[in-house]
Amino acid sequence: MIRLGMIGGGQGAFIGAVHRHAAALDGLYELVAGAFSSNPDTSKASGHLLGLPPERVYTSYQELIQQEKQRPEAERVQVISIVTPNHLHFAPARLALENGFHVMLDKPMTFSLAEAKELEQIAAASGCRFCLTHTYTGYPMVKEARQLVASGKLGTIRKAYVEYPQGWLSTFEEGGANKQASWRTDPARSGVAGAMGDIGTHAFNLLEYVTGLTVTQLCADINTVVPGRQLDDDGAVLLRLSGGASGVLVATQVAAGEENNLRLRVYGEKGGLEWQQADANTLQVKWLDRPTEIRRTGAGYTSSYARHNTRAPAGHPEGYLEAFANLYRNFALSLQADLSGTTAPPEALDYPGIAEGVRGMAFIENVIASGRSDQKWTSFSC
């Protein structure tokens, strides 16, 4: 069992519980410490509910890192999960890495691209492992999609469409008690972007991950639809991709009635693919001249990458927590290999890391800049 510490994720948070479920699912981690809130009482109460001994429930990330570092190596935290709002990503991540702790960090990686680049340097120097929780790449059928593109069977990729419609910010939620809405729409905590940071980065990451291409230019229409809101809650982006492909990215949080409907379509010379989170265990593979194929999680014909990230036989749906757990599991397998002096298989090493985090932050800054520009195409600078 890998010893896990958590920064953030106290009572009332959403993503902290998700991380804990994800870490727990495969029995590879033991939560042994946490600084769950900057409010000492909340942190203590949260730690108590989670069954932690009081002495390992801290009131600040600094305390957690310093105290844990002084514990015997066989006992101290090995991985620190940071699940705070965006403005509190960089500092604890830096401190953790600098003190030799491996880091699991929520997306988007930092508050700014500058921070992201600095963190990249720190992570490289630290020798520690780093994972950024772009959950959706943990789905077996997303792995399958990437492998299919990489196999060349679709031919050269020409088009990629990714869309991420949500509806939960259709009203002025931040005016009330919705804690999630509150920080996500606050420039002081969320950064320069709202929807583009919160979900646009997921869409961007999914597109680059599956196609293996990079965005080279973009042209964005960025909107704040709900009156009074401080950050964007809606956007659409024309994309030019490496290798001559092009595409569209849509991310909106004002599509009233939509849940969390991330969807990707990619088309090459000979065929295309379609995946959507609402039917996450299906990958549609389309062909110019023969029937569409329905590929399914757990089926015998899937790639080693898909199978590696599957727990049950075909027909037993794997959900969001399993996708999230795949990130934790692969991170654990990679660490265990390191610890035992072996090399993890490529399937285990396939989790999002610091490079994806830097590109995500670059996406945020470029897309917001493009949204403000009268110039049509903005070169993707990173």
- Widest CA span of the chain, in angstroms? 65
Site for a second copy in 67-106 (CB under 8 A): none
Interface with a second copy includes 374 (CB under 8 A)? yes
| Residue closer to a second copy (CB basis): 27 or 346 | 27
Site for a second copy in 116-145 (CB under 8 A): none
Interface with a second copy includes 21 (CB under 8 A)? yes
Stretch that binds a second copy, among 97-105, 120-128, 333-341, 369-377 (CB under 8 A): 369-377
Instruction: List Cα–Cα distances, 55 to 62, 64, 113, 267, in angstroms.
Output: 15, 10, 36, 55
Interface with a second copy includes 198 (CB under 8 A)? no
Count of positions on this chain that bind a second copy (CB under 8 A): 91
Closest distance to a second copy from the beta carbon of 126 (Å): 28
Q: Which residue is listed with tokens 């699912």?
A: 25
Closest distance to a second copy from the beta carbon of 109 (Å): 21
Work out which of 223, 224, 242, 336 binds a second copy, going by CB under 8 A: 223
62 Cβ neighbours under 8 A, 6+ residues apart = 95
Work out which of 74, 228, 376, 381 binds a second copy, going by CB under 8 A: 376
Indicate if the alpha-carbon torsion angle 135, 47, 92, 367 is positive or negative.
positive
Closest distance to a second copy from the beta carbon of 329 (Å): 11
For residues 336 and 340, give the distance between their C-alpha atoms in angstroms, rounded to a whole number: 6
Closest distance to a second copy from the beta carbon of 1 (Å): 6
Closest distance to a second copy from the beta carbon of 310 (Å): 11
Q: Which residue is listed with tokens 């620190």?
A: 80
Interface with a second copy includes 250 (CB under 8 A)? yes
For residues 211 and 241, give the distance between their C-alpha atoms in angstroms, rounded to a whole number: 10
Interface with a second copy includes 318 (CB under 8 A)? yes
For residues 36 and 206, give the distance between their C-alpha atoms in angstroms, rounded to a whole number: 29
| Residue closer to a second copy (CB basis): 1 or 125 | 1
Report long-range pairs for 169-173 (Cβ below 8 Å, ≥24 apart): 169/195, 169/226, 169/229, 169/233, 169/253, 169/254, 170/226, 170/253, 170/254, 170/255, 170/256, 171/226, 172/226, 172/227, 172/228, 172/229
Interface with a second copy includes 379 (CB under 8 A)? no
Interface with a second copy includes 243 (CB under 8 A)? no
Work out which of 38, 147, 260, 336 binds a second copy, going by CB under 8 A: 260
SS3 367: helix
Strands 263-268 vs 271-276: parallel, antiparallel or unpaired: antiparallel
Work out which of 93, 193, 213, 280 binds a second copy, going by CB under 8 A: 280
For residues 178 and 217, give the distance between their C-alpha atoms in angstroms, rounded to a whole number: 36
Closest distance to a second copy from the beta carbon of 165 (Å): 8
Burial class of residue 316 in the structure, from the number of CB atoms within 10 Å of its CB (0-12 exposed, 13-18 middle, 19+ buried): exposed
Interface with a second copy includes 176 (CB under 8 A)? no
SS3 256: coil
| Residue closer to a second copy (CB basis): 114 or 256 | 256
Question: What does the block give as tokens for 217?
Answer: 């230019």
Closest distance to a second copy from the beta carbon of 271 (Å): 5
Work out which of 85, 140, 298, 353 binds a second copy, going by CB under 8 A: 298
Closest distance to a second copy from the beta carbon of 120 (Å): 29
Interface with a second copy includes 296 (CB under 8 A)? yes
Interface with a second copy includes 265 (CB under 8 A)? yes
Interface with a second copy includes 258 (CB under 8 A)? yes
| Residue closer to a second copy (CB basis): 28 or 116 | 28
CB-based burial, 123-139: b 16+ in 10 Å, e otherwise = beebebbbbbbbbbbbb
